[in-house]
Structure 1
Amino acid sequence: MTATTRYSQAGDEFLFVELNEEMTLEAFFRSISITQRLRDMALPGIIEICPANASYQVRYNPDVISAGQLQETLEGLDRDVAAQQVRTLETRVIEVPVLYNDPWTHETLMRFRDHHQDPSATDLEYAARINGYDSVDAFIEAHSATPWFVSMVGFVAGLPFMYQMVPRERQIQVPKYLRPRTDTPKQTVGIGGCFSVIYSVRGAGGYQMFGVTPMPIYDPEGDQPHIDDSMIFFRPGDIVKHRAIDREEYDALLSAAEKGDFKPRVASFTFDLDAFSQDPDGYARRVKEVLYEH
């Protein structure tokens, strides 16, 4: 356990653990590593484990395990993670096809220009400009070329928050809308702050909208074979590689999804935090190679 870790009781059944006030890849790695170890322990009395960007929360049954016993267990797991000589994480790499600059998010964003920082530009144009890219195409390439870590899933069921795997000075960052929209198309891909997301359902939202994916990520009806009984496809720790597609491929993949025939490209992967830190660009290439080797 480091000096930055804070344990807080959240009602009678929850323990909230803040690992760091700053959201970093190091803090996220600790969160996912500790919670994976806790899950593997299958400790009696643990009901639910929810990792996040620089924190996590555990729901427990106080009649089976006390808050003190749970905190002691978590402190031990934190020490184990801190003592790791090789900092690795068993995960998977997932390709997400994206139709950028699509007609549906474009129609939506035009309805809400009075909610936006720059009513004269589209979300893509605004994001490209404030991040120093000379064109929308260059911005799309930057968003799709690098891998993204799924750091948490939530807000609405199945929605992944993704953290870009590049040095901090190169991270894409775009503020949310000045006022939230009352509409966002299902499976919209966008960014708010430094996090990219995929909206799992149609509804309100405030993140900048860049495109849509035909890939089902939330399946309450049980129609998608690639999604298990949890109804949610993404898991914290997943690594996402976006791939820009055209309208023809989007329509074909959407048709497959509607028939329950969508098959995402997925590869097992061992993420090494130190190897990534030493060569982020080389590591991004390796992630892509692993994905397309399968």
Structure 2
Amino acid sequence: MKAIALQQYGSADDLRLIDLPDPKVGPAEVLIRVRAAGVNPVDWKLAAGGLDALMEVRFPLVPGWDVAGVVERVGPDAREFSVGDEVFGYIRKDWAQAGAYAELATANVRMLAKKPRGLGWAEAAGVPLAGQTAFRSLKRAEVGAGDTVLVHAAAGGVGSFGVQIAVALGARVIGTASERNHEYLRSLGAEPVTYGEGLADRVRALAPGGVDAAVDFVGGDAVDVSLGLGVKPERVVSIANPEADAKGGHWVWVRPDGVELADLARLIEDGKVTVPVERTFPLAEAAEAWRLNQQGRTRGKIVLTV
């Protein structure tokens, strides 16, 4: 099979399209013919050695944890799916090596769900990591109907999902973003507020009755601002600040969960969550996709088509 890989830790300049053996399909696994693979910041951070202290990395390294494709083969005791099923998933394994930037990828059945009906391959590949991160963060913050929730970095990849999911849960959403993204946030159902100095005062003006929960998708002082607004620590969740735990909140590292992904798929099928795709690249141009992703200015997802 063809795959994008690195032979050692490196950058976009070190990505190469190479031939690799087709992956073996173990118990409770399926082999997926990849149609699209989502690009996330963790992909190039992993490749640069940024997660070396957290997980084992083996080379050649094929990046990519977001996949959408068709089940081509079913391993022993993998009855949840059949050959021909259209699936998507967040396929992070216990070590990093055989990712989604390839013609073929394997995944444990617990990582996958059926692709939402009517959703394109590129859109489907843009959902799993960002969508599940937002979903898990909101669940950990116990966001529900009638809550006012503050979403930090609401116009980003994770934030865009967070806003839509919170609205679908019946919450009022206040989202931080630059002014150029305010209209975009309104289109998702959020009340926008400009981030930066004076943020807390601007949030208080919008929600004089207080904020019930906060999810931080950017880092920096977002956790401190949320606590300063009177949000109970146990309802403050961050994906970017490990110190959230020490302050009584939660630092979330999303885990593969096909059941949760299926719940998200139903929201997509019901029209409550949409998946904006900023740009697609062919697999061979993965380096260009990384360079665009590293700019941090895209509103929608970046996806590789295979």
TM-score range, shorter chain: under 0.3
TM norm structure 1: 0.26
